[in-house]
Amino acid sequence: MDRLLRTWMAPAAMGLAGLMAAPAVEAKTLWFSGMSWTVRPDGQGGPRNNYWCAANAFVDANGELHLRITKMKGNKWCAAEIVSDMRLGYGTYQFQLRSRVDRLDRNVVLGLFNYPTADVGADATNEIDIEFAKWGDAAADMLNYTAWPVQQSLGPSGNTFPLALNGDLSTHRFIWQPTFIRYQSTHGHYDDNRFPIADWTFAPADYGNRIAHAAMPVHFNLWLVAPPSNKQPVEIVISRFTFTP
């Protein structure tokens, strides 16, 4: 799994030093699933030094979130990311998708995750991920669950699963508790795992070092490890996000 230090964080998710150093940019905000979100502004930066376009994230008339990867001039492509203006802690994080994420190009990554602010921890710590990605390898599993430790030196823990949806709708969640993180994915839009795709629990004995315990913002991002091998733009629809403390 690729991890590079991020060069951007939404204003609500940055420490004071980051705010003072950041250039003045008028942030675009969205209202989605009853929450306020900040859109990553136009620019270039990690992961994988992608280009980012604020116009590639929007909410439609039905209240659904759209994330796009679009072609720029030359062989450049533009990605999208949003981050919640609220930090969330222990509870159930549920993401309902209306897109065939099982058919993503091998170079496309869709991330649904929380991510530490500077006061919580460094990059490659604390993060809890659900990612749809083959990381450039067409033979790899598409569904990735990853838990990043509180102590960076311990390294991530995770599991991958094949993904073959029976339609456009799927639900994915992680249940974050002090001693474990449980990940689930199911066909359709349901609040349980009645048509299971995957179910994995991470419950280490040294949970205090391996499971995050501080509230963090939630991120959605759609980006590339390399230009799409099929040379096609991408659009993902996220119908709803819910958080239950």
Question: Rounded mean pLDDT of 175-188?
Answer: 98
Percentage of the chain with pLDDT > 90? Answer: 88
Whole-structure pTM value: 0.92
pLDDT digits (tens, 9 = 90+) for 27-57: 899 999 999 999 999 999 999 999 999 999 9
CA distance 150 to 214: 10
Q: Is the peptide bond before 47 cis (omega within 30 degrees of 0)?
A: yes
Q: Is the confidence at residue 17, as pLDDT, over 60?
A: no
pLDDT of residue 136: 98
Q: Is the confidence at residue 7, as pLDDT, over 80?
A: no
The token duo for 117 is 């602010």
pLDDT digits (tens, 9 = 90+) for 201-227: 999 999 999 999 999 999 999 999 999
pLDDT of residue 75: 87
Confidence of residue 26 (pLDDT cuts 50, 70, 90): confident
Question: Rounded mean pLDDT of 94-117?
Answer: 98
Contact present, 132 and 110 (Cβ < 8 Å): yes
Question: Rounded mean pLDDT of 112-137?
Answer: 98
pLDDT of residue 6: 53
Q: Determine the straight-line distance between the first and last CA of the chain, rounded to whole angstroms.
A: 29
Quick one: CATH architecture of 11-244?
Answer: Sandwich (2.60)
* Range of lowest pLDDT (16-20, 36-40, 125-129): 16-20
Question: Rounded mean pLDDT of 229-237?
Answer: 98
Contacts of 238 (CB under 8 A, 6+ apart): 32, 64, 65, 66, 67, 95, 96, 97, 98, 99, 112, 220
CA distance 35 to 216: 14
| The dihedral sign for the CA sequence 117, 132, 33, 70 | positive
Q: Is the confidence at residue 61, as pLDDT, over 70?
A: yes
Contact present, 105 and 111 (Cβ < 8 Å): no
pLDDT digits (tens, 9 = 90+) for 157-179: 999 999 999 999 999 999 999 99
**What mean pLDDT, rounded, does the chain reach?**
92
Q: What is the DSSP letter of 103?
A: G
Domain ranges of the chain: 11-244
The token duo for 182 is 């449980």
